[in-house]
């Protein structure tokens, strides 16, 4: 298994590779808007950027820190000032950026995934993909299921989000690395999701067992963060990748229920998203339904007009 240190080293290399790709591409794509993204964020941003310009050169940098590193590398080279550039990062658990760097866009929520998980997006999936009618009783049943289970899910992951947010705050204040590398999915066994209920099955000790290299957090710091997160807008503040995992799971459970028990959905749903629905495919399939904050449109208007 790749160690945490190895993963850090590989991610640093991604920033250098992205910078080199940009440097080489400027010779050919002189008039393009060079867009620097985190991970798999392209499917969300590219269609929205194309509302303002079709001349796009997308570059995947890796994580948030790598996008900012590429920005730093490019900014230190005056020769690249003439090229049109836009950088896109997730806020994660960091404080909002206080900066006049108007070519860096930061999500107003934890990440782009948060904009895929809300009632409006869920309704669009039901109507356009699963072929529900708003007049169908099954439609209202599914909306209620989504809202009730989503509330329970966010309650169940409050401790995990609080713990990880504390790690990020410690890292930002002291420079000490978190010792944690998270996946798109919650570690197995922490939360149980069904159409009947969502329940957490873990405590702080279990989290520490899963991540033995994680930074120690004192009880007061964690308790304060937990209290804060119990009263926040969890739909926007909590880790978006886990919320997207929840959405995928609920959709799969609804489809399975319609084909088997029909406890909630009385009509069989003959739709499978053309195979397994994972994080990456969900971003591509549902991107047209995802929310678009007005600040993103303002940002894109600005970078495409000035450049």
Over its C-alpha atoms, the chain yields an Rg (Å, rounded) of: 21
pLDDT digit string, tens, across residues 18-64: 999 999 999 999 999 999 999 889 999 999 999 999 999 999 998 99
3-state secondary structure of 150: helix
Tokens of 216: 């120690």
Identify the band that residue 8 occupies on the pLDDT scale cut at 50, 70 and 90: very low
pLDDT digit string, tens, across residues 131-164: 999 998 999 999 999 999 999 999 999 999 999 9
Domain positions in the chain: 4-110+291-306, 119-285
Q: What is the pTM of this model?
A: 0.92
Identify the band that residue 278 occupies on the pLDDT scale cut at 50, 70 and 90: very high
pLDDT digit string, tens, across residues 90-116: 999 999 987 656 899 999 999 999 999
Is residue 171 a contact partner of residue 217, using CB atoms and an 8 Å limit?
Answer: no
pLDDT at 283 over 90: yes
């Amino acid at each position: 298994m790749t160690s945490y240190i190895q993963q850090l080293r590989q991610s640093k290399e991604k920033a250098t590779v992205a910078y080199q790709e940009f440097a080489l591409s400027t010779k050919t794509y002189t008039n393009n808007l060079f867009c620097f993204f985190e991970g798999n964020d392209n499917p969300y941003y590219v269609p929205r950027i194309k509302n303002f310009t079709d001349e796009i050169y997308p570059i995947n940098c890796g994580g948030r820190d790598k996008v900012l590193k590429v920005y730093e590398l490019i900014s230190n080279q005056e020769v690249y000032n003439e090229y049109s550039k836009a950088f896109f990062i997730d806020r994660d658990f960091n404080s909002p950026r206080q900066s006049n760097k108007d070519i860096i866009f930061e999500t107003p929520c934890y990440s782009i995934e948060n904009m895929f998980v809300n009632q409006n997006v869920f309704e669009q999936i039901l109507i356009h993909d699963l072929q529900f009618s708003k007049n169908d009783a099954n439609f209202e049943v599914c909306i209620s299921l989504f809202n009730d289970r989503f509330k329970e899910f966010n309650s169940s992951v409050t401790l995990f989000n609080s713990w990880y947010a504390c790690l990020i705050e410690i890292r930002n204040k002291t420079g000490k690395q978190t010792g944690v590398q998270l996946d798109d999915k919650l570690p197995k066994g922490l939360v149980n999701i069904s159409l009947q209920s969502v329940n957490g099955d873990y405590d702080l000790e279990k989290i520490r067992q899963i991540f033995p290299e994680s930074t120690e957090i004192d009880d007061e710091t964690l308790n304060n963060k937990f209290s804060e997160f119990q009263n926040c807008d969890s739909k926007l503040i909590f880790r978006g990748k886990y919320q997207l995992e929840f959405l995928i799971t609920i959709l799969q459970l609804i489809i399975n229920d319609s084909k088997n028990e029909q406890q909630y959905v009385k009509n069989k749903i003959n739709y499978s998203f053309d195979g397994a629905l994972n994080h990456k495919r969900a971003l591509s399939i549902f991107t047209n339904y995802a929310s678009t904050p007005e600040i993103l449109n303002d940002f894109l208007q600005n970078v495409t007009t000035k450049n």
